[in-house]
Amino acid sequence: MDFELTNEQRAIRETCRDFAREVVAPAAEELDRHHKFGYDIIRQMGELGLFGLPFAEQYGGAGGDHLSLCIAIEEISRGDAGVGITLEAAVCLGAAPIYEFGTREQKERWLPDLLAGRTLWSFGLTEPEAGSDAGATKTRAEARNGSWVINGAKQFITNCGTDISAGVTITAVTGKNGGESEISAILVPSGTHGYHVLESYRKLGWHSSDTHPLSFEDCEVPAENLLGPRGGGYRQFLHTLTGGRIAIGALSVGVAQACLDASLSYAKERRSFGVPISKHQAIQFKLADKPMDTELARTIEYRAAQAYAHGGQETTDEVRMLAAMCKLYASEASKRAADNAVQIHGGYGFMEDYPVARYWRDVKVNEIGEGTSEVQRMLIARLLGT
Ligand SMILES: Cc1cc2nc3c(=O)[nH]c(=O)nc-3n(C[C@H](O)[C@H](O)[C@H](O)COP(=O)(O)OP(=O)(O)OC[C@H]3O[C@@H](n4cnc5c(N)ncnc54)[C@H](O)[C@@H]3O)c2cc1C
């Protein structure tokens, strides 16, 4: 298989790498410390075209593919994983379902602003009692007089509470199908009566990203806000999460790379017993593992992203398997990398003066969001035919 990047993909990598080094990384400490959303950074990323990367030019996209997006997410996350997840969720969870399953009217109404990064759309799947078991959704939408009336709650939803949040796609039970819940996807614009964005969470990491619980109380939207066919919500979110998992893999690779960069330069400067610590074999071995782990994770990220892009709306078992392996391997590699980076920094690694403390707090969630490591292992085992 061909791992050569196209000229466009190389250009995206260089642009995002420069932008992350010059704009994202220098702001990261302050955004993290004050739990601030980086509006100005998001605006600039919009101007660079990052929110439209994998979409057709017809709606203001750049005409790229999933690999182009993953390369961008990787580089931006090297500067700040909180900004990386904002991009990932906005594109993979927010805009992509509308792009892939929306009607022409829905696309024309929402996509131009979303693809320009002027607005953000979020994805409301997780509920207080339905996380890994997302099919156990309890939120209900009742068809009434040409509307959907929604009641229920969602939790841990990214990008729903910013000043530029335009709405959320929720999954809701819209009826029964032979004893099974019929789950549909419905678009709920921000400001709709009965749609409440509750107080933001106090998180361990990703402080520059926006995460809130949501509640819906007799929230009424027009019948035409159904996304895709009635009852198609389950299939849609499985497809959406497949793309999202590869992108979380990319985010993880970005942080793993940042851990390597920080550890190598620190190890060359910090001295003990009369030499830089990079001369001690114990430190060298820790450093040696990092490019190996990062490069392996990047390789499966590229392979999975290409396979996902080629498959279009049809997610084959092969693509699902690659996506699960990508997320699982890369998220665990990022955790090893951050743990190692803190260790190489010694006591300073435990202080917020160096970015590795933030990396360490940020990586844990890579093993949780968009399907936990246990869920990825379950999926891989199921696809093996167990
Ligand atoms: C910062 C952040 C942002 C998020 N953003 C979004 C978002 O934008 N939209 C959205 O819809 N969701 C979002 N999520 C939710 C995320 O996808 C869920 O947290 C995740 O899928 C796990 O669900 P849960 O938290 O309910 O854990 P649970 O499902 O309750 O799992 C708890 C533990 O049990 C394990 N477990 C569960 N079932 C099994 C099983 N059958 N076998 C073995 N182990 C099992 C899990 O692996 C985990 O270790 C976000 C989460 C976070 C933390």
pLDDT interval class at 313 (50, 70, 90): confident
Residues 55-83: tens digit of each pLDDT = 999 999 999 999 999 999 999 999 999 99
- Report whether 160 contacts 119 (CB < 8 A): no
State if residue 368 touches ligand 1 by the CB under 6 angstroms criterion: yes
Question: How distant, in Å, are the alpha carbons of 180, 182, 269 from that of 136?
Answer: 10, 11, 53
pLDDT interval class at 1 (50, 70, 90): low
Please state, as a whole number, how many other Cβ atoms lie within 10 Å of the Cβ of residue 259.
Answer: 30
| Whole-number pLDDT of residue 315 | 85
State if residue 211 touches ligand 1 by the CB under 6 angstroms criterion: yes
Average predicted confidence (pLDDT) for the chain? 97
* Domains in the chain: boundaries: 7-120, 122-231, 234-383
Q: Please tell me the distance from the alpha carbon of residue 250 to that of residue 52, in angstroms, as a whole number.
A: 17
**Any catalytic annotation for residue 370?**
yes
Secondary structure (3-state) at 348: helix
From its phi and psi, is residue 190 left (phi > 0), alpha (psi between -120 and 50) or beta?
beta
pLDDT interval class at 178 (50, 70, 90): confident
Question: Does the fold of domain 234-383 match that of domain 122-231?
Answer: no
Q: How far is the CA of 219 from the centre of ligand 1 (A)?
A: 25
- Report whether 44 contacts 19 (CB < 8 A): yes
Q: Please tell me the distance from the alpha carbon of residue 342 to that of residue 273, in angstroms, as a whole number.
A: 20
Structurally, at CATH architecture level, domain 7-120 sits in Orthogonal Bundle (1.10)
State if residue 120 touches ligand 1 by the CB under 6 angstroms criterion: no
Secondary structure element (H or E) that encloses residue 321, with its range? helix 317-344
For 122-231, which CATH class?
Answer: mainly beta
Residues 343-386: tens digit of each pLDDT = 999 999 999 999 999 999 999 999 999 999 999 999 999 999 99
State if residue 89 touches ligand 1 by the CB under 6 angstroms criterion: yes
Whether residue 48 has pLDDT greater than 70: yes
Distance between alpha carbon 31 and the CA centroid of its chain, in Å?
Answer: 18
Q: CATH for 234-383?
A: 1.20.140.10
Atom of ligand 1 nearest to the CA of 123: 9
| Whole-number pLDDT of residue 179 | 86
Q: How far is the CA of 284 from the centre of ligand 1 (A)?
A: 36
Secondary structure (3-state) at 79: helix
